[in-house]
Amino acid sequence: MALLSIPFTQQGSKINFQESFKQLMIPLSAMMLFLFAWELSASQIKTSLGLVPGPIEVSKQFGNLITEHAEERNKADAFYERQEKRNAKKLAKNPNAKVKIRNYTGKPTFFDQILTSLVTVFTGFLIATIIAVPIGIISGLSQNFYTAINPIIQIFKPISPLAWLPIVTIIVSAVYVSNDPTFSKSFIISALTVTLCCMWPTLINTAVGVASVDKDLINVSKVLQLSSFTKVWKIVLPSAIPMIFTGLRLSIGIGWMVLIAAEMLAQNPGLGKFVWDEFQNGSSNSLGRIMVAVLAIGIIGFVLDYLMLTLQRFISWDKTAVLR
């Protein structure tokens, strides 16, 4: 039996290798073809800032952004070192002297802007999720509640971030009183705009998912006289989790797109501001740097969706479900 199984095992390994090779080569070939077409066509288009940069020029600009980031970090380290020495010298003369500790206020680099945008989008997305999921669950369980809230959802759902942004800016400016730089006004405006625009897919998908739970399961919970929390935790959520995560994946994608637009329009710190600043700069390198930012926006959007899919795979009750 063992001897007979060897050829089958070798054949299975060969098939798996061929399948893995195929799965790797198809997207790789498509990517190479895309880059070749990009490089070929870019050199044919001349703009006011010069030729449209191809992949080679864009990669060169990416390298320049890495160098600028390293130089800025060195400046920050030198600033803190000088400050520390100055304060130590002052305290050596007078132990009771008051020393000043200042934060480095150099120009944010491309990677600083990425970090700012990520923190903002996760904050807005988290607030949206905290609001949307419970309302979606109640809407799915109660027809009366859904009937009451549906007109509000349908009115606010299609509103563009371009319309939300001035309203949010005016309201936040009127009530903002904090001096904490962690919660700057621009950060709150961007995060709230993301929240208002990205909560609807999660809310609607959660409501649909909960409403689609098998009625027999709901009846079982009534027969067993389960509490509302136990019914939601043991019966509703396991059945509705795929739809909830579909909404979450849509929401974070929308939130990411909305944030970039909001940062460009309001000139709030982040990737959107980087793109706008480069557009206003108008140097020969600007177009290449904007393309680096655009590619970064796309890659980060892809990673965010992958993270949500991984989280769904981790949380989902059914580990054998096929996720796409």
pLDDT digits (tens, 9 = 90+) for 40-63: 888 888 887 778 889 999 999 999
Query: Alpha-carbon torsion 300, 303, 307, 308, what sign?
Result: positive
User: What is the predicted pLDDT for the residue at 60?
Assistant: 94
User: What is the predicted pLDDT for the residue at 3?
Assistant: 46
The pLDDT tens digits for 195-243 are 999 999 999 999 999 999 888 888 888 888 888 889 888 888 888 998 9
User: What is the predicted pLDDT for the residue at 12?
Assistant: 65
pLDDT at 5 over 60: no
**Please, what's the largest Cα pairwise distance for the chain?**
87
User: What is the predicted pLDDT for the residue at 77?
Assistant: 93
The pLDDT tens digits for 127-167 are 999 999 999 999 999 999 999 999 999 999 999 888 888 99
Task: Determine contact, residues 209/312, Cβ cutoff 8 Å.
Answer: no
Sequence-distant (6+) residues with CB within 8 A of 119 are 187
| Average per-residue pLDDT for the chain | 88
User: What is the predicted pLDDT for the residue at 1?
Assistant: 47
Alpha-carbon distance values, 92 to 80, 98, 156, 165 (Å): 18, 12, 62, 51
Its pTM surpasses 0.95: no
